[in-house]
Amino acid sequence: MLYIRKTSSEDTLYYDLNGRIDSVTAVQFENEIGDIPPGTKEIVFDCARLDFISSSGLRVLLMLKKKVGNGCKLTAVKVNHSVQNVFKLTGFGDIITVSNELPEDDLDIQAAFFDVDGTLYSHSTSQVPESTRAALAVLHQKGIKLVICTGRSLEELSKLPVMDMPWDGYLTLNGNLCLDENKNMFAGNPIDSGEVDILVRIFQASRIPFVLIGEENRYINYVDDVVIDTQASTKGTIPDIGEYKGEDIYQCLAFVADKDRIMLEDMLDECTITSWNKTGIDIISKSGGKAAGIEMFIDEYHLRRGQTIAFGDGQNDIDMIRYAGIGVAMGNGVEALKSAADYVTTDIDDNGISNALKHLGLIP
Band of residue 215 on the pLDDT scale cut at 50, 70, 90: very high
Above 60 in pLDDT, residue 102?
Answer: no
Among 189, 157, 195, which residue's Cα sits nearest to residue 176?
A: 189
Among 216, 234, 231, 240, which residue's Cα sits nearest to residue 153?
A: 216
Above 50 in pLDDT, residue 304?
Answer: yes
Would you put residue 170 in left (φ > 0), alpha (ψ -120 to 50) or beta?
Answer: beta
Average pLDDT over residues 20-35: 93
Segment 5-22, tens digit of pLDDT: 888 888 999 998 988 999
Assigned CATH for 193-285: 3.30.1240.10
> In this structure, are residues 251 and 283 in contact, taking their beta carbons and an 8 Å threshold?
yes
CATH 3.40.50.1000 fits 107-189+289-359, yes or no: yes
Which of 26-35, 77-86, 192-201 shows the lowest mean pLDDT across its residues? 77-86
pTM of the model: 0.78
pLDDT of res. 28: 95
CA pair distance 150, 131, nearest whole angstrom = 20
Average pLDDT over residues 126-155: 97
195 forms beta bridges with: none
Q: What is the mean pLDDT of the chain?
A: 92
b (16+ CB within 10 A) / e for 112-134: bbbbbbbbbbbeeeebbbebbbe
Domain boundaries, the chain: 2-105, 107-189+289-359, 193-285
So what's the architecture of 2-105 in CATH? 2-Layer Sandwich (3.30)
Please determine whether the domains at 107-189+289-359 and 193-285 fall in the same fold group of CATH.
no
b (16+ CB within 10 A) / e for 308-325: bbbbbbbbbbbbbbbbbb
Segment 310-351, tens digit of pLDDT: 999 999 999 999 889 899 999 999 999 999 898 999 999 999
